[in-house]
Chain A
Amino acid sequence: MGRIRAWRPVSRLLSESAAGREQPAIAEAGSLASRSALLQANTLAVEIRNAAARRGNRLIWSGVSAEIRRGEFLAVLGPNGVGKSTLVKVILGLLPLASGEVRVLGQPPGRANRDIGYLPQRRSFDPGLRVRGVDIVRLGLDGHRWGIPLPGLNRLTERGREEDARVLDAIQLVDAEEFATRPIGEVSGGEQQRLLIAQALIRNPSLLVLDEPLDSLDLPNQAASAALLNRICEERGVTVLMVAHNVNPILSYLDRVIYLARGGSVSGTPEEVITAETLTRLYGTPIEVFRTADGHLVVVGQPEPPHGDVHAHLVS
């Protein structure tokens, strides 16, 4: 069957607000390979073969295998503490593998990181941190460069102007203009999260790795951010790998799911994996999956983030 249709959030979508703008500097600068072309080419963004990971002396997971094609939207699901963030760190080369093999964008983990946008789990900035949002976003662009940046020189060089345009574009893309020039410690958790998504996007990566990016967002913003990520995935051919607890906001966009559980892992299309039997087994608590008349999938009973928003999904 085809892809499950998206449910429409009531609020203004980030995607809609960004769609009206001309001149997407990020898209111009990067490969405009469309998603369908990428999917057709059938190259792998991430390849995990019978991998195992340890932290300290503890084996966190083993026997995990998965293939993520370029251009896919993939979710990593599973209960707390099962090793989802560990998987993310392995993919980024921040943790060594205990056994097996992982290749990311055709290279060993860690080699291709300049081409990956990363959003770690639940970072909130210290309220006293007086660095502005734009500065944080900009660090995503040039934070790894050595040498003294001369203030004001940016506007004088071609490259500097292009980079300024990119920063602005990334901020507009996530609709963060209003609070981007305020100290990051003084904006709300959800606003910080949007700035961090902008930071992850700014280098126009071919792979986005997001560890619970919808975590501190309210319902309309979860839906809007999910729609935004899907749009980036579709229009720019970016592969999206996203750790999620609440699968409902992204369910309609997913091409593939990896479920991690204590006893192992399952990977496949949402239709294969998101079934009441599989989820109940993996989470160890009763979970039901409904299909609405117009083809939406709804997951009920999964461990929810604090909002407890099951009803909202049912009415959508």
Chain B
Amino acid sequence: MDPHLTWNLYRDVTQLFDYPFMVNAYRAGTIVAVTAAIIGWFMVLRRQTFAGHTFALVSFPGAAGAILIGVSATYGFFAFSICAALVIAAASRSSRGGYIEESAVIGTVQALGLAFGFLFVSLSHRNVSGAQALLFGSLVGITNDQVIQLLAGGLIVLAIVGFIWRPLLFASVDPDVAAARGVPVQVLAVVFLLVLAVAAAEASQVTGSLLVFALLVLPPATAELLVERPGLSLLTAVAIALLVTWLGLAMSYYNDYPIGFHITSLAFGAYLLAQGWRRLPRWTPFARTSV
């Protein structure tokens, strides 16, 4: 294949979809961008980025292990990351030790996960680039089946979050009052960990395990800088995630650098722009009283 940019913008865009693998990459990227931005928004709000990163990292040994035993890497991504969520949920629930305890558990799980990842990679005698694709993402090789699995995972996760949206928001910003109001704060915490695990596993399959934050953290963090309304901020995060993913895929197609690099640097660029925007003098003061 020899794609190259021309001065014809229309041709540039249609050229993107000349190959089925690129079509699948766009499908997968779109699903993942939406899912990751929404779940990531709550993750940032709940300050669980460490957990999110760990789910992504342990999905790497999952994928390596799946390849080792000859099943689809997607199953490995999901299985390991969900297991990690269950372990973390169980450990931090039984100890009731709060955030410090929880982060110790998460760190342990993460270290163990990575160790197994390298073991599986060396056992399967794959070349270094195989491991690299898992860690840093790769455009090629996203199958139709994988797209369907990503879509199913994404839809389930989004349906759950849609249903628990307000109680989850309440429990995230104000757990004591939410508990007193009858919101099942503990159950929601576990449900959210599981949902986060699925979203992180999905994002890993596009950006690679190491760079999931490009989709999980950067778009919500950027949106947070721009708008305060929860609903609007969430939509902004989705828009940013879609934009950087689509652009990143195109750039990666034309210049052959890894996809994870492009998405990450675009998302980082958006974040920098938002920071700059916030530091501009305000035209409109905050003194609106609309509800």
Contact = CB atoms under 8 A, between A and B. Distances in A.
A143 B228 contact: no
B228 A130 contact: yes
Contacts, number: 103
A110 B289 CA distance: 35
Nearest to B231: A151
A167 B289 CA distance: 11
B102 interface: no
Contacts of B181: 113-114, 118, 140, 143-144
Given A131-B173, A131-B230, A135-B229, A114 B166 contact: no
Nearest to B226: A130
Interface string A66-99: 0000000000000000000000000010100000
Contacts of A114: 181-182
Interface stretch (A174-182, A271-279, A295-303): A174-182
B230 A143 contact: no
Contacts of B176: 118, 120, 123
A180 B181 CA distance: 22
Interface string B272-291: 00000000000000111111
Given A131-B228, A139-B169, A142-B166, A120 B177 contact: yes
Interface string A190-202: 0000000001100
B232 interface: yes
Interface stretch (B133-141, B157-165, B237-245): B157-165
Nearest to A165: B291
Given A151-B232, A167-B291, A94 B167 contact: no
A177 B182 contact: no
A311 interface: no
Contacts of B21: none
B104 interface: no
How many interface residues does chain B have, given as a range? 20 to 34
A143 B167 contact: yes
A136 interface: yes
B112 interface: no
A113 B170 CA distance: 16
Nearest to A126: B47
B179 interface: yes
B178 interface: yes
Contacts of A134: 291
Contacts of B180: 92, 94, 113, 116, 118, 120
Interface in A224-260: none
Contacts of B173: 125, 129, 131, 136, 139
A200 B181 CA distance: 10
B178 A164 contact: no
A151 B229 CA distance: 10
A168 interface: yes
B230 A118 contact: no
Contacts of B183: 143-144
B46 to A, nearest CB: 11
A74 to B, nearest CB: 18
Contacts of B47: 126
Max count, chain A CB within 10 A of own CB: residue among B163, B174, B225: B174
A178 B287 contact: yes
B202 interface: no
A281 B274 CA distance: 59
A139 B291 CA distance: 13
Contacts of A140: 177, 181
Nearest to B184: A144
A132 B288 CA distance: 12
A151 B169 CA distance: 15
A180 B289 contact: yes
Contact of B167 (A116, A126, A135, A146): A146
Contact of B291 (A94, A120, A151, A164): A164
Contacts of B169: 131, 139, 143
A149 interface: yes
Given A125-B173, A143-B167, 10 more contacts: A118-B181, A130-B228, A140-B181, A143-B170, A146-B166, A147-B162, A149-B231, A151-B232, A168-B291, A181-B288
13 contacts: A94-B180, A116-B180, A118-B180, A131-B45, A135-B229, A135-B230, A143-B166, A143-B178, A144-B181, A146-B166, A168-B289, A177-B289, A181-B286
Nearest 4 interchain pairs by C-beta = A143-B170, A120-B176, A151-B231, A118-B180
